[in-house]
A and B are shown apart, each in its own frame.
Chain A
Amino acid sequence: MTNQPAKPKDQNQNSFDSSSLVTIYVMGKAYQVPKNLTIMKAMEYAGYQFIRGCGCRGGFCGACGTVYRTKDSYKIKVGLACQTVIENDMYLTQIPFFPANKATYDVAKLEPTTQTLVRHYPEIMRCISCNSCTKICPQEIDVMGYVNAAIRGDCERVADLSFDCIMCGLCASRCPAEIVQYNVALLARRIVGAKIRPRAPHLRDRLRELETGECLPAVEELTRLGEQELSERYYDKKVRDIEPE
């Protein structure tokens, strides 16, 4: 991340008037920025160009997990920089990377037993139920709840509770037991997807048809049609009827 000193208020070329400015502290350094911006846009306004700590800018990628406090409060709060609106006197630091342990495995060979998760991540047994992970999660996931489910070996419960995880890593950064919760959850979801839920029967049927070449002639015929003929078929309700809701 590169940065430049913030400009004094009166030099703002922007349309924001000075009464609408608030002060934020980026890693302790003060900047005056227009209110109502997200943390990410406020930092860019202040002169930062992100390399780390910025990803999809839409709340899905987990690159911009940000920890902050406000003045006169001991409480640590969190938010995604791309989604959280700034407040006056906000002290910010981004945690774009946190070193994490990840087990490696061959999904095809995994057995969906109650012991699978704990065998790959034995440290989950060290959970002291402090709930720091749940409190810090910007996605409001019940992280401790799914760690407890992982200890019980209930992969489906872990998968369901953790589904909205964007793997920002903030939970792992706070865990006194040094658990990497989001990697445990990822393993559980993959076990559920690959080993516990039944495979789609209609998909197997279609794959068989593709293998025997049954589907091919109809597609081949269409690839030979010109624009006019294709258009006629496309708009012909008998050829291309729409499946009702």
Chain B
Amino acid sequence: MYPDSMRESIRRMEATREARMKQTFPMRTAEEKKELLRRFHPDYIEESMRKLAVGPNQGERTPNELADVLEAWPVFDETSIDLSQVEQDVDVLIIGGGGAGAAAALTAQAAGARVLLVTKLRTGDANTMMAQGGIQAADKPNDSPARHYLDVLGGGHFKNIPSLARALVLDAPGVIAWLEELGVMFDKQKDGTMITIHGGGTSRKRMHACRDYTGAEIMRVLRDELVNRNVSRVEFAAAVELLTDGRGTVTGAVFVNLETGQKWIARAKTVILATGGCGRLHIQGFPCTNHYGATADGLVLAYRAGAKLIFMDTIQYHPTGVAYPEQIVGLLITEKVRGLGAQLVNDQGNRFIYELESRDITASAIIRECREGRGVRTPTGVFGVWLDSPLIEMLKGEGAVKASLPAMYHQFARYGIFMDREPVLTYPTQHYQNGGILIDEDGLSGVGNLYAAGEVSGGIHGRNRLMGNSLLDILVFGRRAGKAAAEAAKATKAVPELSLKHVAAFKRELAAAKVPRSRKSPMILPDYRQPAMRGRYSFLGPDPECVLPAD
């Protein structure tokens, strides 16, 4: 239910609806885009970032919140662990239980490897589950992988690693076919033709969807398949350090049971990191759309082991986060709403950007409207712009909102807002880590036997990802990493040596850079308790090593 102050603004928006329906809004030129980003995109705020003082990316800029976990001390003393007590001994160790981890595990096991998947929450607790809009693949006759490639590169400001973007678009149709075989229920016409729509920055309608539960549908099928194929899994166990042979090759990981605090060791011939992104670090204090577990743990562990990161100075803010009601501020309003025809409208009732520009451009335009006084104010003083969702009913017919966007409809209806009749208020929200661990086409990082797939990896999307390419990338590179890691493991005959020498070396760097000793990582889970209640408990148990020492 909207208060009267907002209702007035809705009336202004409704008054222009008919004219807006006929209006075609031009796309921004390359120059206009640059200017919009420079003036309004959060990445361009100089003081929000700093240069890293330690590690493989020393001297490169990254957001302060991310620097705080990369330049941080381990959560336990590496000399306190008995490395001869190996609890699990496998070919391929997969850390992370979202879409990338599940795809990697299924593929590696099918390739004949002994696999273990460890995840810090439940299997499927990941951003994959929350991806609503869709998955891209160039599989229609009017489309081609080359077109998809050009769209991906344009979205990424032409900075993407070409070999990774190439793998992404060429594997895409195969991934859709794999999901179809597994029984993922894509939206289809009677004859099996996929119903596809536009996403921001697509030149062809290549967004495949499962209503607005696309990621959830894919994840529940993959999770079911993990059980069917009896893939070994351990849940509620967080990786707190990688193990190496002391000569730069990864050989396993140290985990902590989140419920008992017990630490344990897995030895592996190859390791795949599929731990997701950094949304829950709340870069620049933004709300976020991410899963509870998105705390950049994989980046931290890989960085200590010597992996180079790429594009760590760019974060994706999703243009349309919820700005009202207060209880769900920051949650995602899927891009599919705009794909179906809903327009962005300011407080004066005017459109101000073509709705399907790439995400960084659209987000910057919304920030501009609000900063220049054309935003809609909520009773708590938050600003946003309207997303004219009732327009979908007019364009696609009555009932289209409920049929195509059941999850979204439901989410707002809980608060008395019915998006088939009323617009929803929106403002950018932290959504995605554009960069990550630099990988090659097989998902191999710069560190021996360490693979990465999904949001933790970087290079595929350049400096900005397009909608529908993350559900795609987790599966493309999850499967590639799974296959390559299984093959590499089979070729490894010797028993991997286990050491934490890389951690000792990293600690020397931290000491030299005078990093405060109270700053520890990985974070494992965010802490939303009142500040006075924090610090007394730790996921790592009552181990005195885990009590934060004074600086």
A contact set with B: CB distance below 8 Å: 2, 4, 7, 13-14, 36-38, 41, 44-45, 47-52, 54-61, 63, 83-85, 102, 104-108, 139-140, 159, 163-164, 166-167, 186, 189-195, 197-207, 210, 215-216, 218-224, 227, 230-231, 233-235, 239-243, 245
Given the known interface contacts A4-B529, A61-B291, the answer about A234 and B129 at a Cβ–Cβ threshold of 8 Å is: no
Contact A107/B180 with A47-B529, A201-B191, A235-B30 known, Cβ cut-off 8 Å: no
Residue numbers in B under 8 Å from A104 (CB-CB): 227-228, 230
Q: Which residue of A lies closest to B174 (CB)?
A: A207
Return chain B residues, CB-CB under 8 Å to A164: 213, 406-407, 410
> B134: shortest Cβ distance to chain A, in Å?
14
A10–chain B nearest beta-carbon distance, Å: 14
A sample of 15 cross-chain residue pairs with beta-carbon separation below 8 angstroms, ordered by A number, consists of A4-B537, A55-B125, A60-B130, A193-B182, A193-B186, A198-B192, A200-B180, A203-B180, A206-B173, A219-B145, A223-B149, A227-B158, A234-B150, A240-B147, A243-B203
Known contacts A54-B292, A207-B177: does B150 contact A2 (CB below 8 Å)?
Answer: no
Are B533's CB and A4's CB within 8 A? yes
A63 pairs with B122, CB closer than 8 A: yes
Q: State in angstroms the CA–CA spacing of A245 and B125 once bound together.
A: 35
The yes or no answer to B163 lying at the interface (CB within 8 A) is yes
Residue pair A63, B185 in contact (C-beta under 8 Å):
no
For the A-B complex with A52-B236, A203-B180, A204-B177 known, give 20 more contacts whose Cβ atoms are closer than 8 Å.
A4-B536, A7-B532, A41-B327, A49-B529, A50-B292, A56-B125, A59-B411, A61-B130, A61-B291, A85-B327, A164-B213, A189-B217, A194-B181, A198-B192, A200-B139, A202-B140, A207-B173, A215-B146, A219-B146, A240-B151
B192, B227, B326: which has the most chain A beta carbons within 10 Å?
Answer: B192
Near A by CB (< 8 A), chain B positions 384-413 give 406-407, 410-411
Q: Give every chain B residue within 8 A of A102 (Cβ-Cβ).
A: 224, 227
- Given known A51-B258, A215-B144, contact A200–B194 (CB-CB < 8 A): yes
Q: Which residues of B contact A206 (CB under 8 A)?
A: 138-139, 173
For chain B, residues 276 to 324, give those with C-beta under 8 angstroms from any C-beta of chain A: 289, 291-292
- Cα–Cα distance between A163 and B327 once the two chains are bound (Å): 25
Q: Of B204, B215, B236, B291, which one neighbours A55 at CB under 8 angstroms?
A: B291
Contact indicator B158/A201 (Cβ below 8 Å):
no
Contact pick for A83, options B30, B162, B411, CB 8 Å = B411
Q: Are B30 and A51 neighbours in the complex by a CB distance under 8 Å?
A: no
Contact indicator per residue, chain B 512-547, by CB within 8 Å of chain A (1) or not (0): 000000000000010111111100110100000000
Q: Given contacts A164-B406, A189-B185, is CB(A56)–CB(B414) below 8 Å?
A: no
Q: How far is the CB of A184 from the nearest CB of chain B, in Å?
A: 12
A163 and B213 form a contact (CB under 8 A): yes
Q: Are A223 and B183 in contact (CB under 8 A)?
A: no
B218 to chain A, nearest CB (A): 11
* CB within 8 Å of A: which B121-176 residues: 121-122, 124-125, 127, 129-130, 132, 138-142, 144-147, 149-151, 153-154, 158-159, 162-163, 165-166, 169-170, 173-174, 176
List residues of B (199-230) whose CB comes within 8 Å of A's CBs: 203-205, 210-211, 213, 215-217, 220-221, 224-225, 227-228, 230
Task: Assess the B173–A107 pair: CB atoms within 8 A.
Answer: no
Interface flag for B371 (CB, 8 Å): no
Question: Assuming A219-B169, A222-B150, is B527 touching A189 (CB within 8 A)?
Answer: no
